[in-house]
Amino acid sequence: MRSINQLMALNGRVVLITGGAGHIGRAMADAVAELGASVAIVDIDETSCMETSAGLSRKYDVPSAGFAVDMAEENDVCALPSAVVGQLGGLDVLVNCAAFVGTTNLEGWAVPFEDQTADTWRKAMEVNLTSVFNLSKAAAPLLKTSGHGSIINISSIYGVYAPDLRLYDDLSMGNPAAYAASKGGLIQLTRWCSTVLAPDIRVNTITPGGVFRDQDERFVDRYVKRTPLQRMATEEDFKGAVCYLASDLSAYVTGQNLIIDGGWGVW
């Protein structure tokens, strides 16, 4: 029987993280690199990709590579797995973290429902959901033969629960319908893939609650009062979950949605 250290070790495995230069993606990349994984950082900004990748290699002495990709570009997304293999020698874990989020600067996005646009809806679906479908499909043959294949999708509490709009009273912040619908679809895509890709690839979801990023004090106060653990999340709160689902600690876990929300959904 293997020890816990042996079960959680990621030495020799390659992890691809989309949105890897963003807040949550970067924390997850740091976590798997600490466990010995080689890491492919994918993000739309080339400079951030390369800086994040180089930082991981320096800090943990692991191979890492950056890939600047617009997740709305299907051909570039589908070419990613082969590019990662060319740079890092394989692919074992895919973390789908890239997304349009609540603060994304899109016209017709974080505005009242009557002002949200179909064009913005389509753009959000393309990045938040369609790109996950395309990338997972392209990566599946490699993940299947790795012996440790794992897909981890990053959803949101708003893919599970309806928004409490009282949080946003008198604030410029918003909660777009396309964000909620795409994140809810991602959870169901996880369930679907977990049976279709079994037994060679495990597929699970991590669903974060609200993350503190210097939001308006009124929003933070309202959010905290509605959360049993009485705080918003930090990026560090998701490190353990990605290590668990990427490693053999979760070798018998698939089709699950791990909600990390400080108890938000209990009430």
- Give the residue numbers annotated as catalytic, written as ranges: 179
- CA 136/CA 81 separation, integer angstroms: 9
Are 14 and 92 within 8 A, CB to CB? yes
Beta sheet of 257-260, edge-to-edge order: 64-68, 38-43, 14-18, 93-96, 149-154, 201-208, 257-260
Cα torsion 138, 40, 73, 156: sign? positive
Structure tokens at 31: 């976590």
3-class DSSP assignment, residue 42: strand
- CA 64/CA 15 separation, integer angstroms: 9
247 alpha-carbon distance from chain centroid: 16
- CA 84/CA 252 separation, integer angstroms: 26
Are 52 and 17 within 8 A, CB to CB? no
- CA 149/CA 15 separation, integer angstroms: 10
3-class DSSP assignment, residue 148: coil
In 10 A of CB 105, how many CB atoms? 7
